[in-house]
Amino acid sequence: MANLTDLIPLVRERVHNCPDPVIERALRWAARDFSRETHVWTENANFTLNAGSNSLSYSFTSPGDTDIVAWRMLVLDDGAIPITILDRPEWPRVRSDSLPRYAYFEDVNTVTFDARPEANISIRYEIAIMNAIESNVIDDTFMNSWADALAAGARSKLLTQPDRYWSDLNAAQLDMGEYRQGIMNAKQLVHKGFGTTPKRVIQNRFI
């Protein structure tokens, strides 16, 4: 994992005499905003849906020092059968002794399925994540690919702060342009199937 503090020199070169803690906050904001806009930082793994559970819901904890931006995919790992993600629980009734075919998110950390499996099943997922609000730690690939854009985003935020001796609205416009271009480029790469997960699986749909 990489640390956003490594980007402080890239920010300070245009935001003179700004204290490091202020720069760190701006970098955390830039990393979270970039992640929300692009879904470029992803996690791909499995969880087990247990048979015979009284609950149809599964509570998911995001990986350490991260928050979930969105769920991009749910697939039954046996046979790679996609689970359709619905905007609301529209299934007519709960089916027992059956594989789930639909899912609904009550909130970003809680998924509810339409059926209880008759045996434990593995569900493969992909989520888009971002650094937690107080975390400077981000994925290495995220850092290596988008460090310049993150630094530009932090600079633009700092340079537009009112009544600060480092404020410079003209310079901020240039940095914001560089930041927005980075977001556009990242979105194009994600659309083509590139992200931070080591192995990509065909996505179901965004939520």
> Cα(71)–Cα(85) distance, rounded to whole angstroms?
9
pLDDT of 200 strictly over 50: no
Q: What is the model's pLDDT at position 117?
A: 82
pLDDT of 175 strictly over 80: yes
CB atoms within 10 A of CB 182: 24
pLDDT of 205 strictly over 70: no
pLDDT band at 65 (very low <50, low <70, confident <90, very high): very high
Q: What is the model's pLDDT at position 160?
A: 96
> Cα(7)–Cα(30) distance, rounded to whole angstroms?
11
Q: What is the model's pLDDT at position 35?
A: 97
pLDDT of 147 strictly over 90: yes
| Least confident range of 20-34, 94-108, 134-148 | 94-108
pLDDT digits (tens, 9 = 90+) for 177-197: 999 999 999 999 887 765 565
pLDDT digits (tens, 9 = 90+) for 76-129: 887 778 998 888 777 766 666 578 888 998 889 999 888 888 888 899 999 999
> Cα(89)–Cα(171) distance, rounded to whole angstroms?
48
| Least confident range of 51-60, 65-74, 93-102, 172-181 | 93-102
First and final C-alpha spacing in the chain? 27
pLDDT of 174 strictly over 90: yes
> Cα(96)–Cα(94) distance, rounded to whole angstroms?
6
- What is the chain's Cα-based Rg? 20
**21 phi and psi, to 5 degrees?**
-60, -35
Q: Could you give the angle at the alpha carbon of 147 between the alpha carbons of 143 and 152, nearest 5°?
A: 145
pLDDT of 204 strictly over 70: no
Residue 101, token pair as written in the block: 């075919």
CB atoms within 10 A of CB 72: 23
pLDDT of 167 strictly over 60: yes
